[in-house]
Amino acid sequence: MSLPFFGNLFSIPPGLDHLAYLKLGRQLKSDIFYLNMMGQPVVVLNKAQAATDLLEKRSAIYSDRIGSAMVDHPALLDWANFAGMLPYSDLWRRQRRRINNWLSPRAVRQFDNLQEDVVKQLLGRLLKVSQNPEPFEEIKKQFFLWVVFPHRIVPYIKPVPVLSAMGSATFRLAYGYHLKDDKDPFFLNAVQASHRIFNATMPNNFLVNVFPALAYIPDWLPGAGWKRTAKEWREHKNHTVTAPYEWTKQEVASGNFEPSVLSALLQDYDTDQDLSEMERDEELKELAYILFVGGTDTSSTALVNFVAAMVVNPEVQAKAQAEIDSILGYASRLPTMADEVHMPYVRVLIQEVLRWHPVTPTGGTPHACYQDDVYQGYDIQKGTMIFITRVANTWAMSRDENVYKDPEAFNPERFLNQETPYAPAFGWGRRCDALVIKISKCPGMHFAEISLFVTIASLLATFHFSRKKDRHGNEIIPRIEGAVNSLTVPIKPFDFELQPRSEKHRQLILANIQAD
């Protein structure tokens, strides 16, 4: 059903986007379908083959972005150069080339020690969390960028930043800066700015995203308080992306700096010969910031999903721990990246976590078509949003019974068959989000692989995630569900118990903290 102005908006089933689009595709008996969303053409892809055909094989014309007036307009946030939302352009190509150069498989290995150091500190904090009979919120604090998910869940609750394992690692990766604590101004500002830009992109939050002409109304008009908000956010954003950049720049100039992506880029002048110093500074500061923002939320969400999988599937946890013990010995040492090649079951377990509960079940940030195209009889116009990124549906692809037998079952062994493709966990094509797994063209995937392997292997090596019991002593199997529509979909809180595997494992954790 299509209505004037609203188009197909009310044809979408209620509930979480990824489930709604899967249901709509089944109702229409089609894996690719078109929607008119208040005048914005949208194509939804529910099959991996369609996503491959368009976003990989035709990536040259499907790598654009649709802008947001609240974010892009110079009178509002003036953040059109935010690296995570750039349109397909020379600037986008330069930024991607920079990331690819310094997050290649060889380049990221210099950060192995960084990852391992951060995980040691995480394990120590989880010892304290294990004393909590309801550890879900506490463990999420350690994994995530902030305690409360942004206004997407509860509009009147302000997110409380917590210095997390992923936040600390990605800040060091980007800037070579050691965050002091969760009150570090670099950290607080970075969290707040990221929260603001993601809120600013939502049409329901700011009407100017639906009616861009509102950007030109005077600030003094009644009801224009949102414009004053935009000015405040713009000034804060400018400080947020500049301050840590200038710190790293000064460290590099002094010769006293920790290796990081930004320090490497600052010393690489060959890539930027055609840019003025001011242009180069503006581009590099945006790139460093997106490395922090993009690398934290997705990896942290995957870690919470891992915990859920272990609680629901204790036999998988036991098998992975047996493999780890056979390589490391029982509570003898912590895993390192050098152990990955010897732990095939842990590797496929991680892939199954990403398939079973995709981090971005609607695929990430929307792609847009750069020019008119035709696919399977569909006329796809320039500017059409392609949703295997916000609506093209990695959840549906991960449930494809022709690819994954018994898709609702958590079964890592399915990936021991090399003919079984990895699930499209974080997106497709040249526009994949900053940290992604096993998508061949996506920047950041190698750092993400290190991050998830070292963290998950260390958690399995030292802790046990178990089910709660009811008053009769029966185990309670939690129901794992997505909580809210967002770019990365969090899961609803569930009950479980967290304990060190033994006293010997507790001592191993403490010894590594003291040695570090």
Q: Report the half-sphere exposure of 409 (CA within 13 A, side-chain side).
A: 10
Measured distance CA(456)–CA(166) in Å, rounded: 12
Is the sign of the CA dihedral 419, 420, 426, 429 positive or negative? Answer: positive
Measured distance CA(264)–CA(174) in Å, rounded: 10
Measured distance CA(330)–CA(194) in Å, rounded: 42
Please report, for residues 83, 97, 284, the alpha-carbon distance to residue 271 in angstroms, rounded to integers and kept in the order given: 17, 9, 12
Q: Where are the alpha helices (DSSP H) in 255-313?
A: 261-266, 277-312
* Residue pair 379/37 in contact by the 8 Å Cβ criterion: no
Instruction: Report which secondary-structure segment, H or E, holds 374.
Output: strand 373-375
- Sorted by sequence, the CB contacts under 8 Å of residue 93 that are 6+ apart come out as none
Phi then psi dihedrals of residue 36, to 5 deg: -105, 110
Measured distance CA(291)–CA(83) in Å, rounded: 9
Structure tokens belonging to residue 481: 């569900």
Measured distance CA(43)–CA(383) in Å, rounded: 11
Pick from 170, 110, 137: nearest CA to 298: 170
Measured distance CA(248)–CA(175) in Å, rounded: 6
442 is in an annotated binding site: yes
Binding residues: 442
Binding residues for heme: 442
